[in-house]
Amino acid sequence: MNAGQRQWFFGCSLAAFVGLLLWGVLGLPPLGHYRGPYGDAINQAVVAQRHATDAIAAVNFDYRGVDTIVEEFILFASVAGCTLLLRQQRDEEAGMARTRALEGRMGQTSAAVTALGLTLAVPVALLGWYVVTHGQLTPGGGFQGGTIMASGAVFLYLAGEYVTLRRLNPPPLLEVLEALGAGGYILIGFAGMATGAAFLQNVLPLGRVGQVNSAGTIWVISMSVGMEVAAAFVLLATEFMEQALDLRQRRRI
């Protein structure tokens, strides 16, 4: 199909599609009138049943924990796929030498950016860890905190310290951490079965409401997920950074 035919064909189809979607969507209750039983049942029971005050984290890691395992493995598999697609050098030594050479060509980063990046990297990572460990108490959890932790690594890159970043976070270490995080979640699930309960049943002591060490497995799972997500995103980011440096070198910018 040439562009003109495609536009017409698509235009008509899109008009019908939009009409149908509107017809479907207008059957929804107006905004603000949530009625369903599921959310209310959980809201009323979550503190009593699981000593967790953040209902969303409880839903993610306890009530619907299976969905979260699969979600974590989607992250895991996608990062494995990206590694497959982007990894240029099998040999790490040659890779490091090349990276050093590339960095020399990157040009000078402004001193202000470098200073800001270096000072913020560690506090941001700590903030991420705080969010991970308090997931069962306040909004947060493994995924959100893990992403924030990974941002700490990005700050190092922005500060122009890519070589340091690579040395601190070598891909083999990241892959192992990722595997531990992902596999750990499933092991926690099996651990429940070992005590005769169901897969992913919350079998650890629930502790006191409001304490960091509460809500049983929710806290442990949150940390496992946080580790996996952080490792995965740092790995992803470094792969893309490598590509950026490589492309920049090719174009001699």
Partner 1 sequence: MLHSLAPLPFALPLMMAALLMGLSRFVPRWLTDAIALVTGALVTVVCVILLMGSANQPIVYWFGGWTPHQGVALGVAFVVGPLGAGLASLAALLVTAALLFSVKYFEAVGAVYHVLMLSFLGAMCGFSLTGDLFDLFVFFELMSAVAFALTAYRTEEKGPLQGALNFAIINTVGAYLVLCGIALVYARTGALNFAQIGRALSAGPSDGLVTMAFVLIACGFLIKAAIVPFHFWLADAHAMAPTPVCVLFSGVMVELGVYGVARVYWTMFAGTFGPHMVAIRGILIGFGAATAILGAIFCVSEEHIKRLLAFSTISHVGVLITGLGLLTPLGLAGAAVYVLGHGLVKASLFLGAGILLNQFQTASETELFGRGRHLVVLGGMFLVGGLALAGLPPFGTALGKGMIEAAASKAGDAWLSAVIIVASALTGGAVLRVAGRVFLGLGQPEGQPDQAGADDEAEQPESARQLRTPMVMLLPALVLLAGALASGLVPNIAMRTEQAAGAFINQRGYSQVVLNGAARLASNGPLIPTGPDLSEVAGGLGSTTAAVLVGLLAIYRRQLPAAVCRAASRHLEPPLQRLRGLQSGDVRDYAAWLTFGVATMGLAFAFAVH
Partner 2 sequence: MSLLPWFVVVWLFAVGLYGIVTSRDLIHQVICLTVIQSSTYVLLLAIGYRRGAAAPVFATLPSSSSAVDPVVQALALTDIVVEATVLALLLALTVQAGKRFGTIDPQQLHALRG
Residues lying near partner 1 in the complex (CB under 8 A): 1, 6, 9-10, 13-14, 16-17, 20-21, 23-29, 35-39, 41-42, 45, 62-67, 69-71, 73-74, 76-78, 80-85, 172, 175-176, 178-180, 182-183, 186-187, 189-190, 192-193, 197-202
Residue 193 binding: pick among partner 2, partner 1, none (C-beta 5-8 Å cut-off by kind): partner 1
DSSP codes, 107-122:
-PPPHHHHHHHHHHHH
Select from 177, 178, 170 the least CA-distant residue to 91. Answer: 170
Residue 122 binding: pick among partner 1, partner 2, none (C-beta 5-8 Å cut-off by kind): none
The residue among 80 and 158 lying less far from partner 1, judged by its C-beta, is 80
CA 212/CA 220 separation, integer angstroms: 11
Count Cα neighbours of 108 within 13 Å in the Cβ-side half-sphere: 4
The residue among 84 and 111 lying less far from partner 1, judged by its C-beta, is 84
CB of 14 to partner 2, least distance (A): 6
Residues lying near partner 2 in the complex (CB under 8 A): 6-7, 10, 14, 17-18, 21-22, 25-26, 28, 30-34, 36, 38-40, 42-44, 46-48, 53-56, 58-60, 64, 67-68, 71, 74-75, 78-79, 81-82, 85-86, 137-139, 143, 210, 229, 236, 239-240, 243, 247
The residue among 163 and 186 lying less far from partner 1, judged by its C-beta, is 186
Residue 143 binding: pick among partner 2, partner 1, none (C-beta 5-8 Å cut-off by kind): partner 2
User: By CB neighbour count within 10 A (0-12 exposed, 13-18 middle, 19+ buried), where does 153 fall?
Assistant: buried
CA 246/CA 253 separation, integer angstroms: 11
CA 231/CA 229 separation, integer angstroms: 5
CA 209/CA 21 separation, integer angstroms: 44
Residue 16 binding: pick among partner 1, partner 2, none (C-beta 5-8 Å cut-off by kind): partner 1
User: By CB neighbour count within 10 A (0-12 exposed, 13-18 middle, 19+ buried), where does 47 fall?
Assistant: middle
CA 217/CA 51 separation, integer angstroms: 11
| Structure-token pair, residue 106 | 């990157």
The residue among 116 and 179 lying less far from partner 1, judged by its C-beta, is 179
86 neighbors 167 (Cβ within 8 angstroms): no
Residue 46 binding: pick among partner 1, partner 2, none (C-beta 5-8 Å cut-off by kind): partner 2
CB of 27 to partner 1, least distance (A): 3
